[in-house]
Chain A
Amino acid sequence: MNALPRWLRSARVLMGLTIITTIALIALLAPFIAPHDPNEQNLISTFLPPAWVKGGDTAFPFGTDSLGRCVLSRLIYGARIAMTVAIVASLGAMLIGAVLAHIAGYFGGTLDWLIGRTVDVWMSFPPVILSLILMVGLGIGLRNVILAIVLVDWTRFCRVLRSEVLVVTRRDYVAAARLIGFSHWRTITREVLPATLPLLITLVSLEMGIAVIVEAILSFVGMSVGATTPAWGQMIADARQYIYDSPWSLIFPILMIFVTVLGFNVLGDGLRRTLDVRVTETQRT
């Protein structure tokens, strides 16, 4: 027996975890590592290229934007929004989706039909437009961004998990637990949930990547946290107008989103490969 659990020995999981932990640390320690206030304007030195390019200034390692704000500092503070949204929104969506999925899959019948049709109707709205409409209704702000993502994306969890719950519920050990005298609650938490948990964890890590993208889209159209809080999508929107004068301030936020989403996806893929019994069982045989 190895001391490390199987999933921690996977290269994908390790790589994903490294990327995510780094970005999370950057977000946590933003006030200490950012060289400037992210909103501090320096109108004399606008459109500065990164320090290593000719004409760069070492005071602004990644250069400045149209208002002379430090790109690096804005990226660092932007990570805070991205990570908060990624974690809180995906956990929120998971909670609603997983609870409904377990109810639908375990009890079946009318409840299953009702939840299934709700998901169908919900999913027939284009997700980005639905979240935009929600943002218009709710107003901008971090809490509302999270709420909008949760309200749109719980269906993803519900649909995928429901079928898994359905499979597990048909197992004889679930029937055996009922015969032994387990209550429904105990049967779900002790017998069904442990079997669906690997899928749940995998879905959460993939959803985190999706949440980062949705937040970037919302802030790109100015429907996220407001102009005073730096966010990656917003930075892209600002830099878009000066793409020929100063491509750098466009490239950096795009790179950040890319790396973050990649990190979550690699982590999710690694977890799926190591936790999903259907994959690991076939490999063992």
Chain B
Amino acid sequence: MKTLIHFLFMLASVIPFAAHAQFGNFNLNKLTDAVKKVAESNKDITEPEEISMGDGIAAMILGATPLHKDANLQRYVNRVGRWVAMQSGRPDLPWAFGVLDTPTVNAFALPGGKVFVSIGLIARLTTEAELAGVLAHEVAHVMQRHQIRAIQSARSSAALQSVAQAEASQRIAQGRAGGNPLTGALANAAASEGIDFVKNGLFLRPLDKALEFEADRIGATLAARAGYDPYGLVSAIQILSGLKGEDSGVSLMMSTHPTPNERLAELEKFTATLDKFSTQPQLGTRGLRSLWLGVGDPDFVGTQGRGLRRLVDDEYASDAE
């Protein structure tokens, strides 16, 4: 690869004056772009770029799936998530946790501290320690910059892949997405690139299994640091292990993660640490109103089985307790 980069650089420097020339089907202009892109992709992604990229990806996900409309639930998840994230190596990122209104079972982290969890997953959890464990796994991905590392390597190979790719990159650099001008948080190249990573499917590529196992270990550690029983994560994965890919809307999650049983087997190696903090609270109810939702509940369309959905009372939100 290094050789190819050198070759491209050489080629571009030998004939700079010909940058606008065409040789048959060979568009030198585009090739020059590809060379620039390779150089760009080898630069480290800065933290502000990482955050913007996360904005772009989040905007895409929210374009496909709405936020759950329960504002108290959103605030509750943000409180648990932020408390856990404060125990991480990156406590000061603009952490934002969003509950997606879909019966799909999934949770994922984006670069820069944005984390999504589906109501379909939350509804299956039974304690706050489980929720904290799930969020902590995602926080761990952000803390370790797992996605950024994946994006960085995808970016450099994509830049080399073809001249057509260079053309796409140029479009991204101009900050356009689907022809619509982007404003606010999305009006920058990094956010556009984030949007493109969803469009071209790179975002959906599974991370290395080893990174998922690492996120489980760090996640359990962060949950324990936050004062929760670290077995909450184990319990959440056990719940996932009981779901069938075909009927529960878990296919995307299953295709991007090791199987729950593989994850549990890895966490078993971590039992000594887990045990040490296993008497910390699980927080089954907290100040929340909890209720069982049955099949057919209008708020819970399409989800099979039943789960515990926690709703945060207004009185809780206003600190009445």
Is the A/B pair a real complex?
no
A interface list, Cβ under 8 A from B: none
B interface list, Cβ under 8 A from A: none
